Structure 1
């Protein structure tokens, strides 16, 4: 059983390929989520074999807490799930609370998404901090994180059993023919709107204006970012379909990654799989993927980025060598087969014994009975 609170792009980076991997293994599965508009827009990216448990949206956060807990607990009636995978801090606290009150010993796995301040201030997230199980209670579960940089940082802060998965990158990127455009085309991308990364990208386009370079941004952007990108003569390709996106991306001469996000840099890995040399800011996430001077370049500042772009544009042999190396590395680390093997190994590995956490008022008085009236 999967519990995603909220279902967003970061949760999908693990949830979507996890449902596909489990479906290929013949595993029945359910996904519990709040049935709001943002979640519904993302459901098509989950495997069709997964059963979706939609929890109605409630205006009152206490009612929402009760509704999600009830839907979660109801799946333990009869034959309980063989394992539970929780996505996001709110899901982890709520799920651990329910599992504790059910006295369930089911194996549990947790993928903490990199939620921002706005997400942490959502009413359900605030309530989860008050009523859910403390983070220390998750010592009895196994963390599954997408991206070595985030995984190492969290693991050092609160040691728990940890498995790092990377990707996966859709097969379309590995099979895309690297047919470079007739003029230098520089690509950047994001899977969800990243105002910081798009601002850096349009600034780069402005600085290099007049040098015969073309720029394309792959991904959705808000109206303000779209206006700035158009003003900088940057094309925007917002299609999310991987086959179409991969074919268009493969026409680029090189890929630049200017964002500073944590976790697995999926767009950067997709560009590598498409055979593009990459110029990236030297961040922990990018450092975990790019091999400097082998698959691309890690840069300390904008001047270094510009110099590396010029070097790659002027040296076709270097572009070709780094692009081939990038694709080989991506195939070895980021393919769907590697992701599936790593994930299945994590699911099959027993978690360590749970660490006791401070008691909370019981929210589930019976084995699968939910009553929050006492609140």
Structure 2
């Protein structure tokens, strides 16, 4: 039996959604799966219940911030844990686990190594050019490790090839439609516009607040942020009249998303946003910033709109808020688009191809041809 280990420090929001979907599908397909993870503020309290009972879990104290001593200890623990598990495949997720894991790959050479950035650190243009250049230098050094990049979008793959090297495969993010409730919209006549995720620099809560302050009208148009995070960002949002609900269980977050009328994504940068995929799968029209990841999903005027400034957002949102038929038409196109191109089946086939593993057909699978002598 092929043994697969996922390593993730960013154990929340979209990264958790992807690791959860992949790990659960892999054990259902007959693989032995182990997840090495940390716990963040945004990690749901019931995280263990979300995973299939057959998925083995090991908590390892990795931190988001750079900590030379702490990172050294975490890296040593990671190597020791992997040596005990003896996996065939190790799949790293997001920046910190990606850095620690790629260094570990130089020490522990047994498995096949893969790394999903879920958003490249050196594209974080809000951090400033100098800091981004530092991130790029670090990534160039780490790219020498024997690890294959797994790009979650065409735009991310292009950036990896241009800046870090040719060892990259594309496995686009996906959603499990069975887990996404269909959007019903608000039931009280108020048009609700919102987003799901961490309040953080990457998600640009300041832009969200600017849009909400310009367009929000109590009892008519209201803005919602499903999630929590940076205190400064939350203050800015609330000052603009945004309802910041804080962290809630995943099922609750999806249910709240389904009660929105329009979904917006004000990201400064992305890989391929799982929250946007989930919103589109729910049948919501999406208005998103014109950045890598968002532009891979949103087809301007067909399943949503791309925007570059607060004025772009407010103009698009004002039109959609006033036209329920346009919202429904865009939302239906969004749902069909994700169903066609970003289903879990499509993603898993690509991922297994990248791993170089084969899913054994199940005995009860109707596609399995019986032995010639079977009755």
What TM bracket, shorter-length normalisation? 0.7 to 0.9
Task: Please give the residue correspondences for 1:285-300 in structure 2 after superposition, counting only pairs within 5 Å.
Answer: 285-300=293-308
Q: Measure, in 2, the Cα distance between the counterparts of 1:141 and 1:226.
A: 37
Residue deviations 1:102-156, cap 9 Å, x none?
A: 5x34321112354577xxx9xxxx9xx7xx9943433x43211333332321222
CA–CA distance in structure 2, aligned partners of residues 40 and 183 of structure 1: 31
Cα distance in 1 for residues equivalent to 2:38 and 2:237: 34
Q: Are residues 240 and 289 of structure 1, via their aligned partners in 2, closer, same or farther at CA, if it must alter by over 3 Å?
A: farther
**Alignment deviations for residues 174-215 of structure 1 (CA, whole Å, 9 cap, x no partner):** 442424434242322242222553222222222124483122
Is 1:24 aligned to 2:28, yes or no? yes
| CA distance in 1: counterparts of 2:215 and 2:70, whole angstroms | 54
1:151 alignment counterpart: 157
**2:113 match:** 108
Give the Cα separation in 2 of the matches to 1:56 and 1:296. 40
Corresponding residue for 2:274? 266
Partner SS, residue 167 of structure 1 = coil
User: After the TM superposition, which of the residue ranges 30-39 and 158-167 deviates more from structure 2?
Assistant: 30-39
Are the aligned partners of 2:13 and 2:42 in contact in 1 as well (CA < 8 Å)?
A: no
2:257 to 249, 255, 262: 249
TM-score scaled by structure 2?
0.75
Partner of 1:364: none
Q: Tell whether the 8 Å contact from 1:287 to 1:298 is kept in structure 2 after alignment.
A: yes
Whole-Å separation in 2 of the counterparts to 1:256 and 1:36: 24
Contact 1:3 1:91 (C-alpha < 8 Å) held by counterparts: yes
Cα distance change, pair 174–325 in 1 and its aligned pair in 2 (3 A)? farther
| Matches of 1:168 and 1:326, distance apart in 2 | 13
Q: Where do 5+ consecutive residues of structure 1 fail to align?
A: 351-375
SS at match of 2:193: strand
Rg (Cα) greater in structure: 1
1:214 aligns with 2:222: yes
Q: 1:230 to 1:19 in 2, by over 3 A?
A: same
Separation of aligned partners in 2, 1:37 and 1:237: 15
Name the SS for the 1:76 alignment partner. helix
The corresponding residue for 1:191 is 197
Note the C-alpha offset of 1:231: 3.3
Q: How does 1:272-283 map to 2 (within 5 A)?
A: 272-283=280-291
Paired position in structure 2 for 1:205: 212
- Give TM-score, length-normalised by structure 1: 0.75
Q: How many pairs are equivalent?
A: 338
Given that 2:157 and 2:168 are in contact with CA atoms closer than 8 Å, whether structure 1 keeps it comes out as yes
d(CA) in 2 for partners of 1:222 and 1:67?
25
Deviation at 1:261, TM superposition (A): 2.3
The 1:143–1:274 alpha-carbon spacing in structure 2 relative to 1, beyond 3 Å, is: same
Q: Is the 8 A contact 2:191 2:222 kept in 1?
A: yes
For each residue in 1:295-349, what CA deviation from the matched residue of structure 2 results, as whole angstroms up to 9, or x when unmatched?
Answer: 0111232222222112222223222211100111122233333332222222127
